[in-house]
Structure 1
Amino acid sequence: MNRRPLVVAVATVGVLATAGFALPNLPPNPVTDRIDQQVFKEKGRRFATAADAPPRAQSGFALPSWIPRDATDVRIRMRTNGEARMIRFTLGATPLDGPQCSAGTPKQLGAPDLHARWWPGSLRAGVRSECRDAHLYQVAVRGKRVYAWTDGTPSPGVGK
């Protein structure tokens, strides 16, 4: 009886299962970045400060103008085939109170279907405002940590 095909099949399943659990937990590298882009249609970046992020004209990773320039530990995750984004940052000395952010009752935006280990499970109860740039963002603040997301809904008045 030839058991070789069975051994190969079991080994292949084992390797795929291990990769399925390990890949999402690996630090960013060319392999995981490629899988994120090709399979999950997502990509992400991290900046030490908001000032380190590229200007709007140069990259899809440009930050909305309402994020203070002295914000630190900025992380962004975005959809490669749409406008959905998640952004997390830590506030510096500049507060998150600008003319582009309102403290009124925010509209209900759908949470983007993106995946990041640094994103908490539920933020809906913590939404305190919405901020506007090219897109409308929902914003939740937990201490000095700010979480913002958009499903790609354009801000009112954009394009008029």
Structure 2
Amino acid sequence: MHGANENHRVEDSARNSYDVRLGALETEVAVIRNSFATKDDIQALRAEMHASHERILTLLYDLKLELQTVSAKQREDFQLALAKQREEFYAALAAQRAEFHAALAAQRDDWQSALAKQREDFYTAQARQREDFHTALADTKMDLHRALMGHVWKVYGFASLLLGAVYYIARYVH
């Protein structure tokens, strides 16, 4: 049974041929020490250990190259995705700018048409007020003319009465 902190998948998958060879080498080293191995046996063992270390270093170097290749590919994919996202962003920004300008133009047209309508209403109201003023001025002129004529007739009547009185006094009183 595996411990709580151990990763059994890594342990199970790590049993490859190199681990087996290293285990065999360790066993051979133990056998050689116990059996009083010769110098040639130790040299062969060292050569085998050196070769396995070289294979491990080669595998590590290959792994490093593979990781660099994968990393470069991922970096390239990321740069492509970033460039695509940038293009989509600029396209969306341009579309939004175009929509904003269209809405602004529509709002400007609406505002100008409302202003033109308001100007027309103002000019119509001003013309109506001018006509009402001229009508009221004409009515006032007529009323003033009538009042003036009424006063003229009163003055004429008073003058006629005064002249008649002077004539009467001058003719009959003297």
| Interval containing the TM-score (normalised by the shorter chain) | under 0.3
Greater strand proportion:
1
Name which one, 1 or 2, has greater alpha-carbon Rg: 2
Q: TM-score, normalised to structure 1's length?
A: 0.20
Q: TM-score, normalised to structure 2's length?
A: 0.19
Q: Which has the higher contact order (CA 8 A, sep 6+)?
A: 1
Greater helix proportion:
2
